[in-house]
Structure 1
């Protein structure tokens, strides 16, 4: 009886530790997680590694802002260099098929409030091939 109770207790402890362990990102989440890591460390090489060469970037649904990894690198290199306080907090993430939707709070400067943002990533072959940024309406 002691053996059964000890085994059950050990199983409960193991399950509890498993439940509290941080979840590994899914295959579809991996590029979104990689670009966020590069963004927060302002590491342009890590950041662009998550994107396809032909990525399309939209500032709101249906409005193409620019395309291509070279243009992405140019724009973000400049922003990373000019924004030492840059940090993105991931508030929530939804994964559905090949779409990853991130609700974010972005800090550009410590003396200004964070901005709410939504990023919708479309992923294929382990790369982000399209991203749409959506800003909430201002009141």
Structure 2
């Protein structure tokens, strides 16, 4: 397993366990989250990232992301997930693109 795939797997596992510390640990301090294809920045920095996901976990204690497919190319991982168990009762199909370095996920795009 490549380092990029390892980071993607670890963050997904922590997401499903709602382990905010382990989840956030997979991301760089200067993490940038963007919409794809617009590249509009929706979140920047680890503190804002932690806050958003802490709130998400608190509001959706039963959510679970099932990995449907994963593509790995060098330092980029593309995950197709189905998120269920949300408080709204609505399932969410998500496609996330992760760019990594040797230590962390540095950028994330969510396909809109």
TM-score by length of 2: 0.91
Where 1:106 maps in the other structure, the secondary structure is strand
CA distance in 2, matches of 1:133, 1:107: 17
Larger proportion of helix: 1
What does residue 104 of structure 1 align with? 81
Q: Which runs of 4+ in 1 moved over 6 A?
A: none
Deviation at 1:109, TM superposition (A): 2.4
Aligned-residue CA RMSD (Å): 1.5
Structure 2 unmatched ranges of 5 or more: none
Larger Rg: 1
Larger proportion of strand: 2
CA distance in 1, matches of 2:49, 2:61: 19
What does residue 32 of structure 2 align with? 56
Question: How many residues were matched structurally?
Answer: 111
Cα deviation per residue 1:111-135 (whole Å; 9 max; x = unaligned)?
Answer: 7242111000000022100000114
TM-score by length of 1: 0.75
Higher relative contact order (CA 8 A, sep 6+): 2
Matches within 5 A, 1:23-42: 25-42=1-18
Structure 1 unmatched ranges of 5 or more: 1-24
